[in-house]
Amino acid sequence: MNIAIIGTGYVGLVSGTCFAETGNHVVCIDINEDKINQLRRGETPIYEPGLDVLLERNIKEKRITFTTSLAEGIQEAQIIFLALPTPPGKDGAADLQYVLGVAKDLSKIITSYKVIVNKSTVPVGTAEKTTAVMLEHLDPSLFDVVSNPEFLREGVAVEDFLKPDRVVIGTTSEKAKKLMDELYQPFVRQGNPIYYMDERSSEMTKYAANSYLAMRISFMNEMANLCERAGANVDWVRMGMGSDGRIGKRFLFPGVGYGGSCFPKDVQALARTADEHEYDFQIVKSVMEVNDRQKLILGNKILKHYQGDIKGKTFAIWGLAFKPETDDIREAPALYLIETLLANGAIVKAFDPEAMPNVKALFGDKVHFAQNQYDAITDADALVIVTEWSEFRNPDFNKIKSTLKSATIFDGRNVYALEKMKELGFHYQSMGRGTIA
Ligand SMILES: NC(=O)c1ccc[n+]([C@@H]2O[C@H](COP(=O)([O-])OP(=O)(O)OC[C@H]3O[C@@H](n4cnc5c(N)ncnc54)[C@H](O)[C@@H]3O)[C@@H](O)[C@H]2O)c1
């Protein structure tokens, strides 16, 4: 099939590459010329495990090409995906200007039947809005608008896309359904379902899934905070509750708050949708409040430990990305920590395997960027773990102890065993597991 993807970011590039991998001809379109030129040179503009190999193969086989021209890019396409940004607007609602703007542009250049698929995360009713915008210039027989939310996780995006838990397709058009079914069959060969539903339910499903996951995180963060005060260990509590089949083990790890490009904005947008429908969605509001507090918790723990005076002290931060295996720092808890440390006169030395260029673009010389994780702890007063990259899991503790000015670790991700920290003689503070003094 011939596919066009408009918006070649995390979702667009991964989707486009994976559709090409199953034999389709894909044109990826973006307004960012630098990005398109980079891709044409065979360079991958984002860090996503496995993506570069797939991309290289499909570029070589001429199954994927890149352009900045909308008209050229969609010419042959039977299906056009919109993988465009939907950032929060001033009131927290998803800003649809990119989606509706491109829909309008498309309506002026489409000359044969095409399925317009919204892969961006968009609020309930967007398919109808998109259709209305397109109808101003285009005959209804020449297009259908479909909702097909994307559930991939950054860091394992390729694997998630190739083997999705499920595919959700919202459409009431039989013609569009047939084409979408043909496109997705290679991805559901192992019996994972494609759920066909109406557009509104499909749009809502994405917000429900992300908000529910964010709720689990906020719940466990509150549980960790309570465990600390009540003298319980959240690790044991997590295991004890997670082995209940009704609860499940995944997504129960406390930390420094959720971040990334999706959870914060999607939870906010769901709250806004509820407001618009005059529904007081209390849990969703609490999830956001808890997360706002949790993002500051590590900075507050550090300030408390030093009696509020960290001026001139140096903190080594391991991990800046909002989670491991990505260079994405959108809404990353590390950014809030850096702000707190700098505002209180501390010096920050940071290391992240992938995300340092993105953080440098934000903070410039205010943050010192280290060559490697051990370079970061040189002359530091304490080590702070913010993102649980694999390489931080089993470091040379003796080296850490002898390098730090004082053997102090603040661990926002519960990466280390309490017994080990006690045995090695660290001052160790983690999340919901008490303090080892
Ligand atoms: N990142 C994720 O993990 C993820 C997962 C599921 C769903 N989503 C959703 O997918 C959507 C896209 O997210 P993303 O993370 O890929 O965003 P992104 O910012 O990485 O990519 C968006 C791309 O669209 C391009 N763009 C903007 N306006 C354009 C236009 N008029 N024409 C062509 N290109 C244009 C930008 O230059 C950018 O490259 C959002 O709605 C997001 O919520 C993201």
The CA distance from 299 to 292, in Å, is 13
| 423 and 372 in a common domain | yes
| 161 and 27 in a common domain | yes
| 246 and 190 in a common domain | no
| 417 and 321 in a common domain | yes
HSE toward the beta carbon, residue 272, CA cutoff 13 A: 18
The CA distance from 4 to 16, in Å, is 8
| 250 and 320 in a common domain | no
pLDDT in tens, 370-401: 999 999 999 999 999 999 999 999 999 999 99
| 111 and 164 in a common domain | yes
| Mean pLDDT value of segment 348-357 | 98
pLDDT of residue 90 exceeding 90: no
β-sheet with 382-385: strand ranges across: 368-369, 347-351, 314-318, 382-385, 408-411, 427-429, 435-436
| 233 and 178 in a common domain | no
Q: What percent of the chain has pLDDT over 70?
A: 100
Contact (CB, 8 A) for 23 and 185: no
| 187 and 46 in a common domain | yes
Q: Is the CB of 331 under 6 A from ligand 1?
A: no
| 241 and 190 in a common domain | no
Contact (CB, 8 A) for 168 and 138: no
pLDDT in tens, 265-313: 999 999 999 999 999 999 999 999 999 999 999 999 999 999 999 999 9
Q: Provide the domain limits for residue 389.
A: 295-436
pLDDT of residue 115 exceeding 90: yes
Q: Is the CB of 15 under 6 A from ligand 1?
A: no
What lies within 8 Å, CB to CB, of 34 at 6+ separation is none
Q: Of all atoms in ligand 1, which is nearest to the CA of residue 35?
A: 39
Q: What is the pTM of this model?
A: 0.94
| 141 and 38 in a common domain | yes
pLDDT in tens, 236-260: 999 999 999 999 999 999 999 999 9
| 362 and 285 in a common domain | no
Nearest CA to ligand 1 atom 15: 10
pLDDT of residue 423 exceeding 90: yes
At 358, the pLDDT band (50, 70, 90 cuts) reads very high
Q: What's 67's domain CATH number?
A: 3.40.50.720
Tokens 């673009």 sit at which residue? 361
Tokens of 23: 């034999």
Residue 158 CA to ligand 1 center (angstroms) comes to 16
Separation in Å, CA 283 to CA 23, 212, 219, 225, 241? 44, 10, 10, 18, 21
pLDDT in tens, 125-137: 999 999 999 999 9
Q: Which of 197, 232, 260 is at the close of a domain?
A: 197
| 135 and 36 in a common domain | yes
Q: Is the CB of 377 under 6 A from ligand 1?
A: no
| Mean pLDDT value of segment 13-31 | 98
Q: What's 242's domain CATH number?
A: 1.10.1040.10
Q: For a pocket test of ligand 1, which of 5, 48, 150, 156 has the largest count of ligand atoms closer than 8 A to its C-beta?
A: 150
Q: Which of 267, 293, 319 is at the close of a domain?
A: 293
Q: Which of 271, 293, 315 is at the close of a domain?
A: 293
Who wins on pLDDT, 261 or 365?
A: 365
Name the domain count of the chain. Answer: 3
What is the distance in angstroms between the CA of the first residue and the CA of the last residue of the chain? 62
**Closest residue by Cα to residue 14 from 143, 164, 178:** 164
Nearest CA to ligand 1 atom 7: 150
Q: Which are the catalytic amino acids? A: 262
**Phi-psi label, residue 307: left if phi above 0, alpha if psi -120 to 50, beta otherwise:** left
The CA distance from 282 to 277, in Å, is 14
